[in-house]
Amino acid sequence: MRLKPDKKTRASTLAITVLLVLGFFQAYVPKASAQAGTTLLLPFIEDTTLVPGGPSFGITIVVSNVTKLWGFQLVFWYDTSVLTATDFGSFPPFILKLPGIINDEEGYVTMAFTSNWDDKEGLTTDFGLIAWIDFVADAYGTSLLHLSDTGLIDVDGIPIAHDVLDGFFANVPLHDVAITDVTVSPAVVTPGESVTIDVTIASQGLFNETEPFNVTVSYDSNPIETQTVTFLAGGANTTLTFTWDTTGVPVGTYVINATASVVPGETDTSDNTRIGTVTLTLEPIISVTPTSGSIGTKVQVTGRRFGANQHVVLSFDDTPIAEVFANNQGNLTAFFNIPLSESGTHFIKAWFDSRSVNATFTVIDESPLEINVEVGQIHFRGELAEFYIQTVFKGATLTATSVSATLHKPDGTLETLTVQQIATGLYKAPYNIPSNAPAGTYLLVVEANYLTDTIDSKGTSIESFLLSSTFTGWNALLISIDGDVGTIRTDVDLINQKLDAIKDIQLVRIENKIATLNSTVGLIKADIDTVLKPKIISIEGTTVKINSTVGVIRTDIDTIVEPKLISVEGTVAKINSAVGLISGNITLIKGDVASIKTDVGTIKTTLQGWTGTVSSIVTPAGTFNLLALTTSTLQSLTFSDNTITIVVSGPEGTTGTTNVVIPKQLLDGIESTIEEVAVTVNDQEVVFTYNENPEAYVLSISYTHSTDTIKIFLAGIPSPPLPLANIVMIIFIIAAATVGAALYFRIRKKTINP
């Protein structure tokens, strides 16, 4: 939390307030009014009932010693890890609210309020409330309450000089001492014996206890002793030892009372007192050491105040277990082993003169804890393995007090696995097997214990598994993928495999839509359509790169992808492969083998039902390649006088199709257009169709098979030549006309000139 704003914060968060309020306040008179002792005050709050998640509460802002206050502005800062501001407001007469901000990320509230514009009285008070802010507690702790950027103005528009007194919030006690434990030993004594009383005192407040305080121990309101604690750090504790001499104290049971005096500032005194009990008796007494243990534990029974040489019979749950005689002083000592019995508290009694005294012993059940571990027979590099653990006590599954799992690796290293409880007495220990994990035998050692007041059960279990460096030989089949994890079925089990551990993938073969992949983790099979979902991303020579759900796969196009031509439309070919459909343009044909250029590379494939050729022709406009594809038998392709001549053949009566690619530059070079192109089959003009692409026209011509001559006239069909007889007749007519004209002009000349 920042308690004072920097320049950037003021500029960004107080812009509205500064412009509308501060500037307005200070616009009238540059000199502040002299009101001695005017102070803005924040409270000092210590309230442990303001718990996290509890109801909201208000913190008020007070002004003291002020005259005719008309308006104010301020920024209130707090610690956001402890408090959250939810709302703010003002008290009369400040009823006009200017824009304000609650910024709980930075931990501040900006506000500005004024009285009515025509108010000439304002607020005059020695101690008055001017504003409030509502908060909720987010956590236990403390927060400094700080004011900055404050401004006060009186009814005459004169700024009021003032001081600021910050406040403090705490919902944890600042000073608090408590008696947390009182232990007496022995708890049963004979009058005249001493009792040791240990008293533990804790400082439960936030601050150190530097002021001395007293701890007094008494029995039934009779003082025993008082000791002084001079210093106790906040959160610390200390133990004081008192001794009570019971000489002269009558027999009976007494309440031992330990009380700590109240320290300055302490509000919670309910835990300043704690009690214990001591019994003074003239009856014989016995004690047992130890006071708890398992069946078979050797215990020592010590007795006092029996009669001299008195015969005493010891029993365990009223079953005699030993006999002993007291010595001349009435003291006795005996030993025995705890017999077979249920766990819990049992009575050990000393019988004498037909009466008894007793002590207690707690039998602890140390039956072993059964631990069942399932690790699987074999695991693989990159696998997300899960080992399962079950804890059972006397046939019942129960949640253990603690469970640990340690993996012993073939290279001698150890790894502690995180154990996660998934049900009562059932746990799993995930293990993300590294891609470079050493192959070999792994040991998983699981230790657990179950501890209660009467049960202390422990157990250990060891299981092993083999880590294989490869899937080869285990019939691994990738059956599904979820995110970056694949499920693989092997001969031994289903496993979850991290896909990023499968590297350098090669497609070995495809059989019935099942691909066999070789990788750094060995051979894995997978269905192409439902699992791999491949897509070719590049072809370089005969090497194909395929993107898939398991990563990039490499393979050979001729032997693996097996491309098959399924359709040809013009020069556009569609190829079906084992990894999907591919489309491209035919760029080269040799017999029935075509080279097809695709977006990912060039593929060679058999045309299957089509033949074709690429012919280079020379024209005045340049050299061009003509490509022809046909379902007929292609016999020849020639070019002359702007005419392409193709001779094809096929079975009589069947239909054939020929596609011819004509470069646009060829037509431009002979000053022709596609509209002028004409086609004949066996000298009969036919209708053709064409498709246009950016560089060429693809003509498609259909016909009935025989031996057919297809002519494509790029500049239109030329006019046919005249027959020879017609030519002779024309010459005769022209000659006759010429002779006749000559005779006409000669006769006319003679007539005119006789």
The tens digit of pLDDT for each residue in 187-197 reads: 888 899 999 99
Residues 206-226 have a mean pLDDT of: 93
Identical topology for domains 7-170 and 370-468: yes
- Say what the pLDDT of residue 746 is: 62
User: Are 138 and 81 contacting, i.e. CB atoms less than 8 angstroms apart?
Assistant: yes
User: Are 588 and 614 contacting, i.e. CB atoms less than 8 angstroms apart?
Assistant: yes
Whether the ω angle into residue 92 lies within 30 degrees of 0, i.e. cis, is no
Superfamily of domain 285-363: Macroglobulin (MG2) domain (2.60.40.1930)
Name residues whose C-beta falls within 8 Å of residue 98's C-beta, 6 or more positions apart in sequence: 16, 17, 20, 21, 73, 111, 112, 113, 114
- Say what the pLDDT of residue 491 is: 80
- Say what the pLDDT of residue 152 is: 94
User: Are 78 and 143 contacting, i.e. CB atoms less than 8 angstroms apart?
Assistant: yes
Q: Sketch the domain layout of the chain as residue ranges.
A: 7-170, 177-280, 285-363, 370-468, 477-561, 610-713, 725-754
pLDDT band at 726 (very low <50, low <70, confident <90, very high): low
Mean residue pLDDT across the chain? 84
Distance separating the N- and C-terminal Cα atoms of the chain: 144
Residues 66-80 have a mean pLDDT of: 95
Domain 610-713 fold: Chondroitinase Ac; Chain A, domain 3 (2.60.220)
User: Are 592 and 601 contacting, i.e. CB atoms less than 8 angstroms apart?
Assistant: no
In one-letter notation, the amino acid at residue 92 is P
Q: Is the pLDDT of residue 25 over 50?
A: no
The helix or strand, by DSSP H or E, that contains position 75, with its residue range, turns out to be: strand 57-77
Residue 185's CB is within 10 A of a number of other CB atoms, namely 11
Hey, which of 5-9, 199-203, 610-614 has the most confident mean pLDDT? 199-203
- Say what the pLDDT of residue 528 is: 79
CA angle, corner 745, sides to 739 and 747, nearest 5? 100
The CA dihedral of 571, 576, 579, 582, to the nearest 10 degrees, is: 20
- Say what the pLDDT of residue 16 is: 34
CATH classification code of 177-280: 2.60.40.10
Q: What is the pLDDT of residues 370-406, one digit of tens each?
A: 999 999 888 888 888 899 999 999 999 999 999 999 9
Name the token pair of 283.
Answer: 């009856």
Half-sphere exposure of 609 (CA within 13 A, CB side): 9
- Say what the pLDDT of residue 26 is: 39
Q: Is the pLDDT of residue 550 over 90?
A: no
Query: How would you classify residue 27: left for phi > 0, otherwise alpha for psi between -120 and 50, otherwise beta?
Result: alpha
Name residues whose C-beta falls within 8 Å of residue 138's C-beta, 6 or more positions apart in sequence: 52, 80, 81, 82, 83, 84
Length of the chain: 754
- As a whole number of angstroms, the distance between CA 345 and CA 57 comes to 51
The residue ranking higher by pLDDT, 365 or 621, is: 365
- As a whole number of angstroms, the distance between CA 427 and CA 403 comes to 9
- Say what the pLDDT of residue 598 is: 57
Phi/psi for 426 (5° steps) reads: -125, 130
pLDDT band at 697 (very low <50, low <70, confident <90, very high): confident
The residue ranking higher by pLDDT, 247 or 543, is: 247
Domain 7-170 fold: Immunoglobulin-like (2.60.40)
3-class state of residue 724 by DSSP: helix
Could you tell me the pTM of the whole model?
0.48
Residues 176-203 have a mean pLDDT of: 92
- Say what the pLDDT of residue 24 is: 39
Instruction: Name the percent of the chain lying above pLDDT 70.
Output: 83
In one-letter notation, the amino acid at residue 284 is P
Which residue, among 48, 199, 236, 40, has the nearest Cα to 125 in the 3D structure? 40
Q: How far is CA 612 from the centre of its chain?
A: 59
- Say what the pLDDT of residue 15 is: 34
- As a whole number of angstroms, the distance between CA 48 and CA 175 comes to 12
Name the token pair of 469.
Answer: 């460096």
Domain 370-468 fold: Immunoglobulin-like (2.60.40)
pLDDT band at 647 (very low <50, low <70, confident <90, very high): very high
Q: Is the pLDDT of residue 140 over 90?
A: no
Residues 268-284 have a mean pLDDT of: 91
User: Are 523 and 505 contacting, i.e. CB atoms less than 8 angstroms apart?
Assistant: no
Instruction: Name the percent of the chain lying above pLDDT 90.
Output: 49
Q: Name residue, tokens 């006319």.
A: 748
- As a whole number of angstroms, the distance between CA 611 and CA 597 comes to 18
Which residue, among 566, 594, 569, 564, has the nearest Cα to 579 in the 3D structure? 564
- Say what the pLDDT of residue 522 is: 80
Name residues whose C-beta falls within 8 Å of residue 735's C-beta, 6 or more positions apart in sequence: none
- Say what the pLDDT of residue 22 is: 38
User: Are 86 and 56 contacting, i.e. CB atoms less than 8 angstroms apart?
Assistant: yes
Residue 298's CB is within 10 A of a number of other CB atoms, namely 11
- As a whole number of angstroms, the distance between CA 96 and CA 255 comes to 65
The residue ranking higher by pLDDT, 23 or 240, is: 240
Q: Is the pLDDT of residue 352 over 50?
A: yes
Q: Is the pLDDT of residue 709 over 70?
A: yes
In one-letter notation, the amino acid at residue 131 is A
- Say what the pLDDT of residue 4 is: 35
- As a whole number of angstroms, the distance between CA 399 and CA 397 comes to 7
pLDDT band at 412 (very low <50, low <70, confident <90, very high): very high
What are the start-end ranges of the E strands in 122-205? 123-137, 142-154, 163-165, 167-170, 177-185, 188-189, 194-203
Q: Is the pLDDT of residue 585 over 70?
A: no
Q: Is the pLDDT of residue 277 over 70?
A: yes
pLDDT band at 236 (very low <50, low <70, confident <90, very high): very high
- As a whole number of angstroms, the distance between CA 534 and CA 704 comes to 43
Q: Is the pLDDT of residue 619 over 50?
A: yes
- As a whole number of angstroms, the distance between CA 99 and CA 334 comes to 87
Identify the DSSP state of 251: S
Q: Is the pLDDT of residue 557 over 80?
A: no
User: Are 73 and 150 contacting, i.e. CB atoms less than 8 angstroms apart?
Assistant: yes
pLDDT band at 749 (very low <50, low <70, confident <90, very high): low
- Say what the pLDDT of residue 572 is: 62
Taking CA atoms, 251 is separated from 219, 256, 279, 283, in Å, by 13, 15, 7, 10
Identify the DSSP state of 730: H
